[in-house]
């Protein structure tokens, strides 16, 4: 009988306990980085999120690396990342559904002027108001039409919004207008009352949300960043909000996480800030995903969702 493949978990402190039960039943030997003794050449697979730079190249016999998140920028930012080893990102229906829920919720909070009604309730004021703009005339644009952008676009379309998406390649989604490539970015931006960023973080998309881009949005646009903090120049956002060009923003991700207590983003009156919780990977779903992936690799099959190293996502 062939030996059980060895899977090294590289997880933030305290996360390991969620994995012990789902992984224990499997035909895989689990080792926790920093807790269990192992020799580097024993490790067949790694599961992690943001491993310390330079570490993965010290494991000479790795067959595959599984990312705990949909985003893999935390791996590729390592200059010594072993690019010959397949890197598999986490793609899961539940994760896409929860991301779409978060996006829809924050579009609706702004569209339905929810914060004004919350203030009125605290003051016991009966203040009725109509929608500032009819739903079908409210244009929602999504930067990034991959696994998550696609689900969010369909949910928003079904609620009656005028939805469009921007991606590298053109998409055919019923009732959703598709813009593709750098040449169509300005036309896309010019028709976004809401701009949602759900792009992967790559050298091409880093700091894409900046003063120049904001200037191309219609006055009063609302920005939602649920992708990565590295997409946004935070100072540029504050300037665009303070000048009145943008009406508000929802941020779930930040250049430096956790967001420092002193950051002006916490208390800005036009910003809703959440601590990277738009969707949190379920340990049970991820354990199933990784174990199925390892079993398939051990049978010699090629896996889905392998990162394309030339594209960087």
Ligand X SMILES: NC(=O)c1ccc[n+]([C@@H]2O[C@H](COP(=O)([O-])OP(=O)(O)OC[C@H]3O[C@@H](n4cnc5c(N)ncnc54)[C@H](OP(=O)(O)O)[C@@H]3O)[C@@H](O)[C@H]2O)c1
CA distance 44 to 291: 13
Indicate if 228 belongs to the active site. yes
In the bound complex, what is the minimum distance in angstroms from residue 272's beta carbon to ligand X?
Answer: 14
3-state secondary structure of 47: strand
CA distance 164 to 179: 7
Q: Is the bond preceding 131 in cis, omega lying within 30 degrees of 0?
A: no
Please tell me which residue in 139, 228, 231, 233 is annotated as part of the active site. 228
**Looking at 78-86, 118-126, 147-155, 210-218, which segment touches ligand X (CB under 6 A)?**
147-155
**Looking at 18-26, 123-131, 143-151, 265-273, which segment touches ligand X (CB under 6 A)?**
143-151
Indicate if 50 belongs to the active site. no
Q: Are 36 and 61 in contact (CB under 8 A)?
A: no
Single residue of 51, 86, 141, 144 touching ligand X by CB under 6 A: 144
**Looking at 38-46, 49-57, 155-163, 226-234, which segment touches ligand X (CB under 6 A)?**
226-234
Please tell me which residue in 276, 288, 299, 311 is annotated as part of the active site. 276
CA distance 248 to 245: 9
Which residues 6+ apart lie within 8 Å of 229 measured at CB? 251, 253, 254, 255, 256, 257
Q: Are 9 and 1 in contact (CB under 8 A)?
A: no
* 226 is a site residue for ligand X (CB under 6 A): yes
In the bound complex, what is the minimum distance in angstroms from residue 192's beta carbon to ligand X?
Answer: 15
* 253 is a site residue for ligand X (CB under 6 A): yes
* 75 is a site residue for ligand X (CB under 6 A): no
Name which of residues 263 to 282 contact ligand X (CB under 6 A): 276, 278-279
Name which of residues 7 to 66 contact ligand X (CB under 6 A): none
Q: Which residues does residue 53 pair with via DSSP β-bridges, in sequence order?
A: none
Task: Using the minimum distance from each CB to ligand X, give the nearer residue, 59 or 307.
Answer: 307
Single residue of 9, 199, 213, 246 touching ligand X by CB under 6 A: 199
Task: Using the minimum distance from each CB to ligand X, give the nearer residue, 26 or 145.
Answer: 145
CA distance 218 to 239: 16
Nearest residue relative to ligand X (C-beta)? 146
Q: Are 276 and 257 in contact (CB under 8 A)?
A: yes
In the bound complex, what is the minimum distance in angstroms from residue 166's beta carbon to ligand X?
Answer: 6
Residue among 247, 254, 246, 204 at smallest CA distance from 226: 254
CA distance 80 to 57: 6
The residues of the shown chain that bind ligand X, judged by CB under 6 A, are 69-71, 95, 99, 144-149, 167-169, 198-202, 204-205, 226-228, 252-253, 276, 278-279, 313
Q: Which residues are catalytic?
A: 228, 276
């Amino acid at each position: 009988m062939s030996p059980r493949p060895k899977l090294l978990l590289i997880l933030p402190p305290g996360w390991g306990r969620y994995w012990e039960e789902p992984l224990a039943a499997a035909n895989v030997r689990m080792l926790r980085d920093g807790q269990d003794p192992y020799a580097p050449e024993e490790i067949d697979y790694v599961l992690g999120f943001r491993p310390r730079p330079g570490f993965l190249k010290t494991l000479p016999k790795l067959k595959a690396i599984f990312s705990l998140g949909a985003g893999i920028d935390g791996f590729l930012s390592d200059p010594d990342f072993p690019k010959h080893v397949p890197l598999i990102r986490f793609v899961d229906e539940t994760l896409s559904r929860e991301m779409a829920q978060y996006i829809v919720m924050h579009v609706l909070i702004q569209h339905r002027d929810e914060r004004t009604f919350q203030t009125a309730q605290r003051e016991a004021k009966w203040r009725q108001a109509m929608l500032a703009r009819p739903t079908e005339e409210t244009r929602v644009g999504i930067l990034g039409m991959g696994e998550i952008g696609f689900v969010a676009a369909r949910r928003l379309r079904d609620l009656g919004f005028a939805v469009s998406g921007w991606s590298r390649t053109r998409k055919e989604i019923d009732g959703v207008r598709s813009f593709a490539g750098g040449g169509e970015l300005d036309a896309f931006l010019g028709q976004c009352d809401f701009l949602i960023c759900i792009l992967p973080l790559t050298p091409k998309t880093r700091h894409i949300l900046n003063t120049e881009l904001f200037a191309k949005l219609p006055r009063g646009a609302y920005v939602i960043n649920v992708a990565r903090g590295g997409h946004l120049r935070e100072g540029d956002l504050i300037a665009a909000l303070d000048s009145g060009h943008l009406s508000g923003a929802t941020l779930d991700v930040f250049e430096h996480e956790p967001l420092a207590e002193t950051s002006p983003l916490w208390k800005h009156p036009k910003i809703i800030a959440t601590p990277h919780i738009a969707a949190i990977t379920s340990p049970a779903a991820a354990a199933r995903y990784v174990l199925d992936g390892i079993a398939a690799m051990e049978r010699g099959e090629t896996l889905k969702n392998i990162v394309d190293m030339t594209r960087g996502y």
